[in-house]
């Protein structure tokens, strides 16, 4: 009889931001979208690039490069938006994360994951769950629940809702008489 309790190594989606490889648990990534320019929302932190519409849901887009103290992500033909679900207390947040490129899905058993480094990264240690060994290199494993803070996302969502409510109503179709009342 085959072993029924065979444990599979956790999977991570690896992606690149500003020349560094990162990973998120594959179960946190809901989808990968082709890059589209987010709609800017005034009054949000610099790391919030704006919002996009994902099947009727307003999704704030975070530029982790900016959050990690690097230059703003410049879109290319490989740039994409990872739609990620994170927890903030009891709430679930859906956030877009800009990535320069998506690399691959990695199987990382516990023996291939080292503790987060105490030096050498621009990323706060509480944002990391570890470093995955991949070949001769490493992937910094992010904690989606810590990196994608509720306060930033909430601020972006509130600003987007406010912007939507203040948007001018769609103009009525112009009439042939120059718009004069009938």
Provide the pLDDT for residue 22.
Answer: 96
Provide the pLDDT for residue 14.
Answer: 97
* Number of domains observed in the structure of the chain: 1
Task: Decide if 171 is inside a domain.
Answer: no
- Contact (CB, 8 A) for 88 and 146: no
Q: CA 47, 89, 20 angle in degrees (round to 5)?
A: 35
Please give the Cα distance from 161 to 181 (Å, whole number).
Answer: 33
Band of pLDDT at residue 155, cut at 50, 70 and 90: low
77: domain range? 11-164
Sign for the pseudo-dihedral over CA of 44, 47, 51, 55 = negative
Provide the pLDDT for residue 3.
Answer: 52
The predicted-structure confidence for 61-94, as pLDDT tens digits, reads as follows 999 999 989 999 999 999 999 999 988 777 788 8
pLDDT value at 165 more than 60: yes
The predicted-structure confidence for 5-63, as pLDDT tens digits, reads as follows 456 779 999 999 999 999 999 999 999 999 999 999 888 888 999 999 999 888 999 99
Band of pLDDT at residue 169, cut at 50, 70 and 90: low
Task: Decide if 170 is inside a domain.
Answer: no
**Can you give the CATH number for the domain in which 34 is found?**
2.40.50.180
Task: Decide if 174 is inside a domain.
Answer: no
52: tokens are: 């996009």
- Contact (CB, 8 A) for 80 and 101: yes
Mention every residue, 6+ apart, whose C-beta is less than 8 A from residue 68. 17, 18, 122, 123
Provide the pLDDT for residue 173.
Answer: 46
Task: Decide if 173 is inside a domain.
Answer: no
Provide the pLDDT for residue 174.
Answer: 46
Task: Decide if 36 is inside a domain.
Answer: yes
Provide the pLDDT for residue 176.
Answer: 47
Task: Decide if 121 is inside a domain.
Answer: yes
Please give the Cα distance from 75 to 36 (Å, whole number).
Answer: 9
| Angstrom distances, CA of residue 158 to CA of 41, 44, 163 | 10, 10, 9
The burial of 11, by beta-carbon neighbours within 10 Å (0-12 exposed, 13-18 middle, 19 or more buried), is given as middle
Q: Quick one: what percent of the chain has pLDDT higher than 90?
A: 49
pLDDT value at 172 more than 50: no
Task: Decide if 2 is inside a domain.
Answer: no
Provide the pLDDT for residue 178.
Answer: 47
Provide the pLDDT for residue 167.
Answer: 54
pLDDT value at 117 more than 60: yes
Task: Decide if 120 is inside a domain.
Answer: yes
- Tracing tokens 């740039």 back to the chain, one arrives at 79
């Amino acid at each position: 009889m085959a072993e029924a309790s065979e444990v599979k190594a956790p999977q991570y989606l690896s992606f690149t931001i500003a020349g560094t490889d990162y990973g998120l648990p594959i179960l946190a990534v809901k989808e990968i979208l082709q890059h589209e320019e987010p709609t800017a929302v005034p009054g949000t932190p610099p790391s919030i690039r704006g919002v996009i519409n994902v099947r009727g849901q307003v999704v704030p887009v975070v530029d982790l490069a900016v959050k990690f103290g690097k230059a703003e992500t410049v879109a290319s033909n490989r740039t994409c938006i990872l739609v990620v679900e994170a927890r903030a207390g009891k709430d679930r947040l859906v956030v877009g994360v800009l990535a320069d490129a998506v690399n691959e899905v990695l199987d990382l058993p516990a023996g291939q994951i080292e503790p987060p480094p105490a030096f050498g990264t621009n990323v706060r240690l509480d944002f990391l769950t570890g470093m995955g060994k991949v070949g001769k290199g490493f992937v910094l494993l992010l904690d989606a629940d810590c990196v994608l803070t509720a306060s930033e996302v909430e601020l972006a969502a509130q600003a987007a809702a406010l912007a939507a409510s203040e948007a001018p109503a769609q103009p009525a179709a112009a009439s042939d008489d120059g718009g004069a009342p009938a």
